[in-house]
Structure 1
Amino acid sequence: MNSHTHAALIIVGHGSTLNPDSSAPTHRHADEIRQRGLFREVACCFWKEEPSMREVYESVDSEVIYIVPNFISEGYFCQQVLPRELRLDGPVTQRDGRTIHYCDPVGIHPNMTRLLLQRADEVAPGVPRSETSLIIVGHGTNLNDNSTKAIQDQVRLISEGGYGFAEVIDTYMEEAPLVSDWHTLTSAANVVVVPFFIADGLHSFQDIPVLLGMESEPGKALSQMEVFRHNPIAMHGRSLYYSSAIGTEPLMADVILDQVHDFDAKHGISTAGIAQPPPDELKTALAAWLLAGRQVIGQVHIAEVGGTFTLRHLEDVSLPAEALTLYTCPSDARDIARNDAGGEFRPIKTAPTLIRGWRLQLPDLASLQLALEFFYPAAIGMALAHENGCLQPVPLRDLLGRQTGMYRFANGITDSQSGEIIGSFCKTDTNCLRRIVWPLDSSQPLPPPATAKLGHEAGQVPGQAPGQCIPLLCMEACNHIVSTARKVARENFESKATP
């Protein structure tokens, strides 16, 4: 594809507050595309993880942005949730001096057929296609008819494409034809099952194996297993081959790029002769802050020697270098920040639970900025926008009011309950280091005890001098607050309904 070195690419994933595997493929595809140097910037954002879809715009400098949903179908999320959260008007949005291109989700691209065929051959090497039934399995939902269309299209393309399988069928977890009926839906001696999901999360590794009869109860998350599957598995007199989710295929990075290429072709966009953008504001600001002695962000300390940077946990600064495990790649920051000292997943990266015992050596400012993006997503951009007076915080009532689906009643909390929820969930010393910069609504600030999150003592590790820190800011309540608000609002409703 053409070079887009003037533009940013944002890949949107679902993410999870519980499962570290959910966002992993999206990050890997972003890493691969970033290494190719086709875009000025490459970033990720998520529905259930950080950075959020509102925050991610602060992660990039570019005035031209391509957004590619790393989703399987044109269903509920891609047609309703993502445009709402990303503030999109349609395929092309002009806002705040930026041009934002909203591409189709990866799962509907024609090249997904090639990936499915490759995955089927990899999971059952040497097994003749003529003696094999191929099952493509999805979730199935009544929220949007398009949620199954992508799978049905692939079944049709493979069935009619002369690829030699004995039969190709679509099955689902929650609607007919059910994947649990695989042995009656197929007839070949060999059966290959490929989950049509983006990640090896709870569905592909826990739920589907139970539905297939491979397991009697859900197993552990993929990241906790040493081996994914041993194929084949003898069941019902046949050989069953079970694949990892199609979205984990490395060639998905190419499908993301294909969607950008197809968007340009469809909308008549040419990258030829586009002037190169000015220097990166984010890197310039970061360099200025370090020069001014602001060497701490969250629990990370930054030291510079001769243009190279060494990062450590704030509590490890006095330890000798040889006592700390050495890392040298910006993406190592993402791995360091993934789990806490007890091995539990850290969905809130600004929680004061960053593990100790490491040092990260980086060769230049660009690597430093990327590493900090992994430690604290969108933090540099939000701090700069706030300093420049152009950060756009979202009032809590606005956020709760735009919720749909199961969260549509979240705005039913009282004003005092909002203060109690935030004051409890967002405690700086135990739960989240961010300083809240959004009000309750357009006319009133947050009530106590949430007010403890509004001062300069929030936004950094307690005890640090503000002049030494790059603040961690919160421009919009996270989905944990939304979920808690929904629960409290439901309790309010039920208490009123009870005589």
Structure 2
Amino acid sequence: MTDTLLLVGRRHTERAAKRHAARLRRRGVADRVIAATYENEPAELVEKGPIRGSGVGAGDDTYVVPMAPAPDHDTTRAIPGALSGAHHCEPVGTSPAVVRGLADRAEAVIEPGDGASLALVAFGETAGSKSYATTEQQATRLRETTAYGEVTTAYLVQNPAVECLRYNLSGDRAVVVPFFIADCEESERAIPEKLELDRGGLEYTDPLGTHEAVTDAIEAEFAKARALGSGTAAVRPVATDGRGY
């Protein structure tokens, strides 16, 4: 029996997902590595997407890693429903491995130090989402592994709100890292507008994108799911609480 590693995400993740899939093929982590995206609903993956008729999701040799920052309705319900019979891993953004990518994004524009602040900005909690729990966990990891004097969080749809962020930072220098897997409407327009970046005083980075730490995170989630040997959609995803448990 062969193993298939399937990277699944919304359309805006396509470029990044394909890059990670290519790296994983070179690493030889699975017999097949496929990247597939959808525009509106995960059902599109089977109905008209690139995996239609491929047999993906039909057996217990398929492992699905969502290209998402945190568990939400799609990762815990819609994707497992569309790809029944597959093993469903945690979204890649929950992995400790992506912290290196977040730190690298920040350090590329603001050097860590006691007088520097790092702010992690995410979408926030909505129905079926664990964005808050995941973002806070990654912020804790950044506090433990970087030398920034302050690591804080802000959200688009809940408090602490993005538009208040610049007034709440304590550092003389500050960098904002959007906690998204790839560029999207939120990272390209909504967050910069709410931060009023054109006023200056804040540096802003790209999301995780094609950073190799994301590739490492995907590989780690795949290895964990394969070792567990359980967690098909008929039962529940491997883990969905956003904390890795």
TMscore range, shorter length = 0.7 to 0.9
Q: Which residue is 1:53 aligned to?
A: 45
2:113 & 2:228 partners in 1: Cα distance?
36
Distance 1:162 1:40 in 2: 34
Instruction: Encode CA deviations 1:181-235: one digit per residue, 9 max, x unaligned.
Output: 12211010111111011111111111111111025xxxxxxxxxxxxxxxxxx73
The aligned counterpart of 2:77 is 80
Aligned counterpart, 1:186: 169
Pick the structure with greater CA Rg. 1
| Alignment match of 2:223 (pick from 261, 267, 289) | 261
Query: Which residue does the alignment assign to 1:25?
Result: 16
TM-score, length of structure 2 as denominator length: 0.82
Provide the secondary structure at the position in 1 that maps to 2:44.
Answer: coil
Instruction: Give the Cα–Cα distance (whole angstroms) in 2 for the partners of residues 109 and 58 of structure 1.
Output: 31
Offset, 1:158: 2.2
Rounded Cα–Cα distance in structure 2 between residues aligned with 1:37 and 1:7: 11
What SS does structure 1 have at the residue aligned with 2:159?
coil
- Take 2:87 and 2:76, find their aligned partners in 1: how far apart are those partners? 14
Cα distance change on mapping 1:31 and 1:166 into 2, 3 Å: same
| 1:122-271 pair list within 5 angstroms | 122-124=108-110, 127-159=111-143, 161=144, 163-215=146-198, 235=200, 238=201, 240-267=202-229
Aligned mates of 1:255, 1:189 — CA distance in 2: 32
For residues 471-486 of structure 1, what are the structure 2 equivalents within 5 Å? none
Matched, 1:9 2:16: no
Distance in 2 separating the partners of 1:247 and 1:76: 22
Task: Return the letter of the residue paired with 2:185.
Answer: L
> Is the 8 Å Cα contact of residues 63 and 87 (structure 2) preserved in structure 1?
yes
Q: Quick one: structure 1 residues 164 and 128, their matched pair in 2 at CA, closer, same or farther if it must change by over 3 Å?
A: closer
Q: CA deviation at 1:162?
A: 5.4
Match of 1:305 in 2: none
The one-letter code of the counterpart of 2:14 is: S
Distance 1:152 1:129, change over 3 A: same
* Structure 1 contact 200–248 (Cα < 8 Å) conserved: no
Change (3 A) 1:107 1:128: closer
Q: Is the 8 A contact 2:6 2:63 kept in 1?
A: yes
Matched, 1:65 2:62: yes
Percent identity of paired positions between Structure 1 and Structure 2: 27
Q: Residue 51 and residue 143 in structure 1: after superposition, are their counterparts in 2 closer, same or farther (change >3 A)? A: closer
Which whole-Å CA distance do the structure 2 matches of 1:202 and 1:252 have between them? 20
What does residue 37 of structure 1 align with? 28
Would the aligned equivalents of 2:101 and 2:212 in 1 still touch at CA under 8 Å? no
**SS at 2:68 equivalent:** coil
| Paired AA for residue 25 in structure 2 | R
TM-score (norm 1): 0.42
Please give the alpha-carbon distance, in whole angstroms, between the structure 1 residues aligned to 2:9 and 2:109.
Answer: 25
Distance 1:12 1:32 in 2: 16
Unpaired segments of 5 or more residues in structure 1?
16-20, 88-92, 94-99, 216-233, 269-499
Q: CA RMSD in A?
A: 2.4
Give the aligned residue type for 2:127: L
Q: How far does the alpha carbon of each residue in 1:235-288 deviate from its partner, in whole angstroms, 9 at most, with x for none? A: 3xx4x22111124423311111110111133348xxxxxxxxxxxxxxxxxxxx
Higher RCO (CA-CA < 8 Å; seq separation 6+): 2
- 2:94 maps to 108
CA distance in 2, matches of 1:22, 1:65: 20
Q: Secondary structure at the match of 1:73?
A: coil
Matched, 1:118 2:109: no
Amino acid in structure 1 at the alignment position of 2:5:
L
Shift of 1:138: 0.6
The whole-number CA distance in structure 1 between the counterparts of 2:101 and 2:151 is 15
Contact kept? 2:124, 2:155, Cα under 8 Å: yes
Query: Does structure 1 retain, via aligned residues, the 8 Å contact 2:71–2:129?
Result: no
Q: For the residues of structure 2 that align with 1:75 and 1:189, how far apart are their CA atoms?
A: 35
Whether the aligned pair in 2 keeps the contact of 1:136 and 1:169 (CA below 8 Å) is yes
